Structure 1
Amino acid sequence: MSNTDEPIRLALVDDHRMLLGALTEWIRGAASDIKLVAAVTTWPELLTHPEFPVDVVLLDLDLKDNIPVSLKISTLKTTGVKTVLMSTYSEPNVVREALAAGALGYLVKSEDAEMIVEAIRAASQGESYISAELDLAINGGDVGGVPKLSAQERRVMALYGGGEPVKSVAFQLGISEETAKSYLKRIREKYRVAGYDVGTKVALRKRAIQDGILLQTDMPRQL
């Protein structure tokens, strides 16, 4: 599958040196499929770094350099680099603008460390990654609306809702069991935020059918 042989080449850009140091240490030990090749504090340093262009850039939205974030994202897109943004806050219109410019992920800095790894992996596949709370903020917080799932989340929900055990879901999608579990956790969280409880496999299956992710005919194979 995708990134099994070649690690994802990652660059970090954050002007808080302490956070940059902590993130650097953490990512180096967290995921064998992610290789941190650059950690810099300014935008020009990224563009002139010998390892640039990388696969994914984890970019601090709040760099105080007066360069519009949309310009940074489009510059990275032109060089084939995927962008995941980090910020200390989540102003919905800023998030919308960044996503419209082509950012694939948006993380608040208080996010779980595992979610940062997930966002980097999703971006390297060209998929978007937004936390449940941000999804709610961006989409106006309509309880009762169907949450927006990424393509990979829909695949996980379809396979798991269709009766596959987590191990099999992971195998079919070429991801680790832990990653499959974290996708399920996020799917449940997105539905919870939207006002639906899909805590059990049966509830999740029903919801997948109602939302058109699973067809009624996709019965579990065990039956």
Structure 2
Amino acid sequence: MTPTSVFLIDDHHVLRQAIARMLDQESDITVVGQAGDARSGIRTMETLQPYPEIVIVDLKMPGQSGMSAIVEIMQAHPGTKIIVFTMYDNPGYVWSTMNAGARGYILKSASGSDLLRAVRSVANGGAYLQAEITMPLLKRLVQDARAADDRGTLSVREMHILEALAEGLSNKMIAKSLSITEETVKSHLKKIYEKLGAADRAHAVAIALRQQLIG
């Protein structure tokens, strides 16, 4: 049986090395590479043949964020299985990353056996949420469901701005094209993120494409 290939992206060097050693001790898992930031990690993975089956990524790193990296990886390699490995237990982060395509979410306070369970569960086609974050996430989902009617759907103006985001336009360019101020654009963006459950511009575009709100 071919071991599951794993790539690590985390700016905490000592922790990343320790995790790599732990995973490599398992006969069914092999660490094929690691990086201290998202941008270099994405570049390195593109040189690997085959592409890693599982990517374990931190959320908060210098430069490109883990959230943005998840969106970029999933767009280029939709079959990749991503596990978020972070110190943040905010249910909003959990929701956003899972909505972007992550298959697992585990805290850095977890035990090594928890991380191994996450890797094996995701490798076998499942998902993994650490027990400590399941209840907060469920509460968040209930709150979101109750607020769904209040949020409503995207307005025509918000759709125009979302389409402009997909074209890569800056806030200044969007404001000029729609004859509105940059502050108004920022206000609309905030509402768009809330309605889509997006963390940033790239995430909003990814969600909109997945839901076929834009072409």
**Which category describes the TM-score, using the shorter chain as reference length?**
0.5 to 0.7
Q: Is the 8 A contact 1:14 1:40 kept in 2?
A: yes
By percentage of residues, which structure has more helix?
2
Q: Which residue of 1 aligns with 2:73?
A: 76
Q: Which residue of 2 aligns with 1:10?
A: 6
Q: Which residue of 1 aligns with 2:22?
A: 26
Give how far 1:15 is off.
0.2
Q: 1:65 aligns with which of 63, 66, 73?
A: 63
**How far, CA to CA, are the matches of 2:59 and 2:3 in structure 1?**
25
**How far, CA to CA, are the matches of 1:33 and 1:115 in structure 2?**
16
Q: Which residue of 1 aligns with 2:204?
A: none
Q: Deviations over 1:135-186 (max 9, x none)?
A: 01101299xxxxxxxxxxxxxxxxxxxxxxxxxxxxxxxxxxxxxxxxxxxx
**How far, CA to CA, are the matches of 1:116 and 1:102 in structure 2?**
18
**How far, CA to CA, are the matches of 2:110 and 2:102 in structure 1?**
17
Give how far 1:84 is off.
0.1
Moved over 6 A (4+): none
When normalised by structure 2's length, the TM-score is 0.59
Secondary structure of 1:139's match? helix
Q: Is the 8 A contact 1:76 1:82 kept in 2?
A: no
Where does structure 2 lack aligned partners over 5 or more consecutive residues? Answer: 142-215
Is 1:39–2:38 an aligned residue pair?
Answer: no
Q: Deviations over 1:64-92 (max 9, x none)?
A: 324460x3223222312110001112011
Q: Is the 8 A contact 2:4 2:28 kept in 1?
A: yes
When normalised by structure 1's length, the TM-score is 0.57
**How far, CA to CA, are the matches of 2:140 and 2:59 in structure 1?**
23
**How far, CA to CA, are the matches of 1:89 and 1:68 in structure 2?**
12
Q: Which residue of 1 aligns with 2:87?
A: 88
Indicate the percent of aligned positions where both proteins have the same amino acid.
24
Aligned residue runs from structure 1 range 77-156, under 5 A:
77-78=74-75, 79=77, 80-140=79-139
Q: CA RMSD in A?
A: 1.9
Give the aligned residue type for 1:126: G
Q: Which residue of 2 aligns with 1:193?
A: none
**How far, CA to CA, are the matches of 1:8 and 1:68 in structure 2?**
22
Where does structure 1 lack aligned partners over 5 or more consecutive residues? Answer: 143-223
Give the aligned residue type for 2:22: W
Q: Deviations over 1:8-52 (max 9, x none)?
A: 0000111011111111111112x2100100011111222222326
